[in-house]
Structure 1
Amino acid sequence: MRRAHSVEQVRAAEKALMARLPEGALMQRAAAGLAYAVIERLGGAYGRRVVLLVGSGDNGGDALYAGALLARRGARVEAWLLSDRAHAGGVSALKAAGGIVSSGVVISTSSIQRSTGSTTGDVVIDGIVGIGGKPGLRPDAEAALEMLEGVPVVSVDTPSGVCVDTGEVDGAHVTADLTVTFGTYKPCHLLDPAASACGKVQLVDIGLELPTPAIESLEAADVADLLPRPAPDVHKYTRGVVGLRVGSATYPGAALLAVAGANTGLAGMVRYVGTASEWVKRQHPEVVGDGQAQAWVVGSGSADGANSALAFARASGVPLVIDADSLRALTGPLGVPAILTPHAGELAALIREDRADIEARPLHYARLAAQRFGAVVLLKGRRTTIASPDPDTPVRVNTTGTSWLATAGSGDVLGGLIGSLLAAGLAPIDAASAGAWLHGAAASLASAGGPVTASGVAAAIPAVIRSLPAVSS
């Protein structure tokens, strides 16, 4: 499990650890981890050209001490001080190691040439703004980054200029090739749009003791632990029955794709009720008709039948997955456990907000909708965001998938897959997050770096499940 903690949580953990360590020891740990990450990226330090962009906070201190270590290893290091309050100990350490320190007005194209031998370096270390900084960058930082355009950037802890706790961006910010973070992931490493600015994220353990995280991201072992596995004495009904009321005469394909997502063997039985029954029987002869179910999936391609499908499923009193057309019928809490699976456009229509604002603030709006409707909300996107109506439950962010997954019908497959997990007994937050993980992993497997269809994603789900790590007894 990747766990991301808020700035407040990290600060408290750092304060507790520093009380037990010699002064400056925690910064030295972070700086060493940063320096070795840079050395690994560069394939060595000797003769490499390194520019440090240094602000007034502890991230600037980390960058300076890391620069000193790199200079002692033979790198040519120059620090550009973007504040008159740079970490004094770090500045002294860099100078003592043979590094160059430039400040304010001295930063120019000629300064780059003096420190690197050309108008480019091998790497820029971004220590401009710490995790407590406000979004955006000051003009001098923007100017320095513009001078170094094209040089790979390694950010200290988080890319400067992004909002650490929300993953939002407002104004100029660093776009890193690598972000080296300390102690724990931060929300911006997982949440879009800031996650897109982080590049690869490398975690350095500095010994923090941390509470329940603000944000989580499942990994393969977590999904393996969550998935229902048949006991020796089970039968098809005890494994769970998932029902689908999806599709219409206008969109029969939505029914086929949702059934394909549900019919992956995770539940003991799949029921289908709708206008595409004959099509479903031909492609999925094991799928049966109406009857009791432990969970219902409604809305995908339902067109004019979406409201009635939702009303029937809601009256059954079992957990629901509500997608697409049935989302429009929602006005408040449903009174049963539910998972809503909108994309940004559908959520915008549902809560009457601007789509662009939802895409810019997915964490905020996923939480807002979860509270408003008393349901788990799975907000689809490059980094799908999954929020529980319980404010004490960490938000989950899915990191599997490929951009090829942006294809018609993939959401129908996802809804069916989540429904089968819900019917098999998973809690709504677990069904939604494990389903999103499997869906993304199946897309990557089926894609193999190229185009993929929704049908191909559904077909790849069993193979992904078989590839999961064995669960320890």
Structure 2
Amino acid sequence: MRTAYSVETVRGAERELMGRLPEGALMQRAAAGLAVACGELLGRVYGSRVVLLVGSGDNGGDALYAGARLARRGAGVVAVLLSPERAHQGGLAALRAAGGRVSDDALRDIGRADLVVDGIVGIGGRGGLRPEAAQLARAAWESARVVAVDLPSGVDADSGEVHGDAVRADATVTFGAYKPGLLIDPARERAGALRLVDIGLTLPEDAEMEALQHADVADLLPRPVPESDKYRRGVVGVVAGSARYPGAAVLAVAGALRGGAGAVRYVGPAAEAVLAHFPETLVHPGPPDKAGRVQAWVIGPGIGEEADALEEVLAAEVPVLVDADGLRFLSPQRTRERTAETLLTPHAGEAAALLGRGREEVEAARLASVRELAAQYGATVLLKGSTTLVAEADGPVRVNPTGTSWLATAGSGDVLSGVTGSLLAAGLPARDAGSVGAYLHGLAARRAAGPAGAPILASEVAAHLDAAWRDVTD
């Protein structure tokens, strides 16, 4: 599992380690890892041209020492000092001793560079870049490959928020631990490829953020045992679709059938369409409390104004996933009084409506928004989007590392609701069901889009869920 830690936690671990090491040793470890990553990006170090954007903090020192290492390997290294009087003196001396120099024309040197190293601001920085630094960052992105030191300057390390101008990097070399902002948009999109350099930090077990990997998902996936039957594996009930939106029912059921439960009960007016596509489905005209026993409910995709079923589903003593139209009729009081788990799966617009604010505010502060929703509604919240987050009122937030921008297509959220609800019915807690469902959904979308990427249909995502499952378990 990939874990991320707050600036405060990382700073504390650094202080503890520096107390046991010779002075400057920790910075040298970071610089060595940064220089290796820069060399790999360059391919051929000898004869290459490297520009260091050097601020006043330790990131500037890391960049200077890494630049000295590259200069000793034959690179032409130039440092642009944004605060000359506050530049790291040891790093600057090392660069000069290795044959590097200080720039006298920053834009000219950036325009000639093969690689620009962003050491402007460290992980403790707040707010966007100052105008001079922002101009240099734009010039670097337009003319060379950019490597950020620890995180792109101008982004918030703890939240992933971007207030003003910020560096856009092709790669980010981060030290000791991932920072939450590197995993969450809008900052994640600016970080490029991530590389973690181990500098020997001792970190606590409880992280601020987690990202599952294949092995974690494989351990969580439900599997039948010899004594299993379809009912012991779990039955998921799906309340979805309407006369206007029968396709939402079909897509939600498609996801549910491939999500690990033993059977799917569909309740709603689109039974004919559902059976035409999936004769395996158990159908009932409703109401939900008359449909038969289930271990979890999914409600909301395409139900329109038909809100009567929501109260019946919420009254059941089983986990409930509420999505799409179902979210419009939800109140914090109703979800907080439930004894079984509730999982909400809004996109940014729906989350904004639940919180009473604008969509842009949610998109700009995804981490804060998902935490606030989870606390306000007393539920687990899966916030869909360019980075999907899963949060409870307490504990680490999970960020989904899979997916593709081609998932921004009609009906894909219905498929996600189905597969996640099926995992709930199979016995996974809401946090795990949301995390695993998003992971499989993202893998299936990648398979559907292909290596080069191409437009996909939500039904194609559902059709690739079994292959995504095998990818994880293999």
TM range (shorter): over 0.9
Q: CA–CA distance in 2 between the matches of 1:430 and 1:241?
A: 18
Structure 1, residues 253-290: CA drift from partner, whole Å, max 9, x if none? 10000000000150011111110112212221111132
Q: 3-state DSSP class of the match of 1:303?
A: coil
Q: CA–CA distance in 2 between the matches of 1:88 and 1:464?
A: 52
- The alpha-carbon deviation at position 139 of structure 1 amounts to 2.1
User: Counterpart of 1:376?
Assistant: 380
Contact 1:156 1:179 in 2 (8 A): yes
User: Counterpart of 2:80?
Assistant: 80
**Matched residue count:** 458
Contact 1:299 1:309 in 2 (8 A): no
Counterpart of 2:176 (choices 180, 183, 187) is 183
User: Counterpart of 2:344?
Assistant: 340
TM-score for the superposition, normalised by structure 1 = 0.95
User: Counterpart of 2:19?
Assistant: 19
| Alpha-carbon spacing, 1:245–1:160, altered in 2? closer, same or farther (3 Å) | same
Q: CA–CA distance in 1 between the matches of 2:7 and 2:101?
A: 32
User: Counterpart of 2:266?
Assistant: 272
User: Counterpart of 2:287?
Assistant: none
Contact 1:46 1:74 in 2 (8 A): yes
| Alpha-carbon spacing, 1:265–1:364, altered in 2? closer, same or farther (3 Å) | closer
| Alpha-carbon spacing, 1:107–1:417, altered in 2? closer, same or farther (3 Å) | same
Contact 1:240 1:267 in 2 (8 A): yes
User: Counterpart of 2:159?
Assistant: 166
TM-score for the superposition, normalised by structure 2 = 0.95
Superposition map of 1:128-277 within 5 A: 128-148=120-140, 149-211=142-204, 212-264=206-258, 266-277=260-271
Superposition map of 1:246-325 within 5 A: 246-264=240-258, 266-289=260-283, 290-305=291-306, 307-325=307-325
Q: CA–CA distance in 2 between the matches of 1:445 and 1:407?
A: 15
Q: 3-state DSSP class of the match of 1:304?
A: coil
Structure 1, residues 311-368: CA drift from partner, whole Å, max 9, x if none? 1111111100100111011111421311111111111122210111111111111111
User: Counterpart of 1:422?
Assistant: 424
User: Counterpart of 1:399?
Assistant: 401
Contact 1:384 1:397 in 2 (8 A): yes
User: Counterpart of 2:456?
Assistant: 452
Counterpart of 1:408 (choices 402, 407, 410) is 410
Structure 1, residues 28-79: CA drift from partner, whole Å, max 9, x if none? 1100000000000111210010000001111001000000000000000011
Q: CA–CA distance in 2 between the matches of 1:246 and 1:166?
A: 35
Contact 1:366 1:377 in 2 (8 A): yes
Superposition map of 1:85-100 within 5 A: 85-100=86-101
Structure 1 unpaired stretches of 5+? none
Contact 1:7 1:131 in 2 (8 A): yes
Residue type at the aligned position of 1:384: T
Residue type at the aligned position of 2:137: L
4+ long deviations beyond 4 Å: none
User: Counterpart of 1:126?
Assistant: 118
What is the alpha-carbon root mean square deviation over aligned residues?
A: 1.2
Structure 2 unpaired stretches of 5+? 284-290
User: Counterpart of 2:52?
Assistant: 52
- The alpha-carbon deviation at position 147 of structure 1 amounts to 4.2
- The alpha-carbon deviation at position 108 of structure 1 amounts to 4.2
Between the aligned residues of both structures, percent identity stands at 59
Contact 2:137 2:166 in 1 (8 A): no
User: Counterpart of 1:4?
Assistant: 4
Q: 3-state DSSP class of the match of 1:165?
A: coil
| Alpha-carbon spacing, 1:265–1:200, altered in 2? closer, same or farther (3 Å) | closer
Counterpart of 1:357 (choices 361, 377, 382) is 361
Contact 2:107 2:136 in 1 (8 A): no
Residue type at the aligned position of 2:179: K
